[in-house]
Every structure is written in C-alpha cells, then in structure tokens.
Structure 1
Amino acid sequence: LDELLDTILAEGGSVLVFTQYVTMARLIERHLSARGTATQLLHGGTPVARREELVDRFQAGEVPVFLLSLKAAGTGLNLTRAGHVVHFDRWWNPAVEEQATDRAYRIGQTQPVQVHRIIAEGTVEDRIA
C-alpha cells in the first residue's frame, strides 16, 4: 500500500482505500499519518453531516487519501476525484466490491479509474483469487 500510494500521490492523484474492517481503516489511518500522508476516514458510525463534509473535502482536493469501510461507503457517494480505488482486504462478494468501486465511476468522472486489489502472496486470498 505504501509503494502504491507513494506513486499515486507523487503524480498528484487521489485514491479511495476500501477495507471491510473499521479497525483496519484506523490502523491504516495511523500508519499513513505517521508517514505524513493526509487521510480521512468514513465508516458506519460517521454522522451524516460529517459524512457530507468528508465527501466535500475529498472532492475539493483537500485530502488525497480517503479511507472507507465497505459497508458505510456502499451507497450514495459520488467520489469522482479519485483516479484510483484500492481494495485493501477482499470482501469476496464481487457485487459488494463493485458497488464500492462504483463510488468513483459516477456521472462527472473525467479521468480513467484504476482499481487495485491487495492480496498477500501465499495466503488463502491468493489461492481464491
């Protein structure tokens, strides 16, 4: 993830990072903060007003990395600033992953969107993939 984000951010890009676990999102948030990478996090417990603020900040280019839990980000979000979508851990339900990816594929999207799935070599996820 670090290498991928370094490349994306060096090119001035924006990225959505999806995880199915809020705890993992918080770990990633702390890790990236320690590296000096600006992030923000949206999860199921995020109040509606805060959710709208986070979306507006991302769309305005204020924060290049948007961490989202898969369940919280499933509907109603237009995040067309993202040129990259990262699935940090797999949900193993293609419909859920596609719905998350579709947050970037919306009316108003003007750039190609690259989707990255992080899978550790030699794991069950690797064998399933």
Structure 2
Amino acid sequence: MHQFNSLDKPAIFLISLKAGGTGINLTSADVVIHYDPWWNLAAENQASDRAHRMGQKHTVKIYKMVTRNSIEEKIISLQHKKADLAKIILDNDGMAQATMNRESLLKILK
C-alpha cells in the first residue's frame, strides 16, 4: 500500500471486497472499478471508501461494471431491494409495505 500510494505514475491495485475491515487506505487512487458485486452493498461502499480517506489527493470516480442478464445483474437488483427495505425500516415509514411473501423471496433467490 505504501508503495502504491507513493508512486508518481499510474498504477493498478487489485483487491477483493473480502479485504474489508483490514485498514487499507488508498489515498492516491483516483478510480475504483467494482466488477464483482456482493449482495451486501455495505461491503462495496466500504471498498469505495478506501479511496476516500484522509490525505486523498485526487477526485475519485467510482464505476460499477455489470454484464447484462448475468448473476451480477441479479445481485445488483438484490442490493437495491435490500437498500429499499433498510430505508423503510430505518425511516420507520411504510412498515406495512416492508413485508415479502414467499414468492417474492424465492424470485429474488432465482
């Protein structure tokens, strides 16, 4: 990390989302590309946040690459549904709409 953050030329740092919570700070990064979405959007957000740390020298652009009609596209859909459900619960707004029936849950898992 130290070497990456101190380079004077463009470089690539590949890392898995599973490295979350390890204290990684990529303050010289200017682009983050997510190509392996996780059902847990918080893990993706944490990965993006690694480039938004104290000492950041650049504007950081975040991209998400998703192939159409793929499992990744279904994961993105699940992320949105999960985020919507969390917002309803946390806002304590429309709790009656926050329920899912068996068919809806099974459809998400397909």
TM bracket (short chain): 0.5 to 0.7
Question: Gaps spanning 5+ residues in structure 2: where?
Answer: 81-110
Question: Gaps spanning 5+ residues in structure 1: where?
Answer: 1-54
* TM-score after normalising by structure 1: 0.52
Deviations 1:47-80 (A, max 9, x none): xxxxxxxx01111126700011112243311101
CA RMSD in angstroms comes to: 1.9
Match of 1:102 in 2: 49
Between the aligned residues of both structures, percent identity stands at 43
Match of 1:72 in 2: 19
Structure holding more helix per residue: 2
Match of 1:85 in 2: 32
Structure holding more strand per residue: 1
The secondary structure found in structure 1 opposite 2:19 is coil
Aligned pairs, how many?
Answer: 75
Aligned residue among 111, 123, 126 for 2:58? 111
| More relative contact order, 1 or 2 (CA 8 Å, 6+ apart) | 1
Supply the distance in 2 between the matched residues of 1:90 and 1:110 (Cα, whole angstroms). 26
The secondary structure found in structure 1 opposite 2:33 is strand
Supply the distance in 2 between the matched residues of 1:99 and 1:74 (Cα, whole angstroms). 8
Match of 1:123 in 2: 70
Following TM superposition, the consecutive aligned residue runs of length 4 or more in structure 1 with deviations greater than 3 angstroms are none
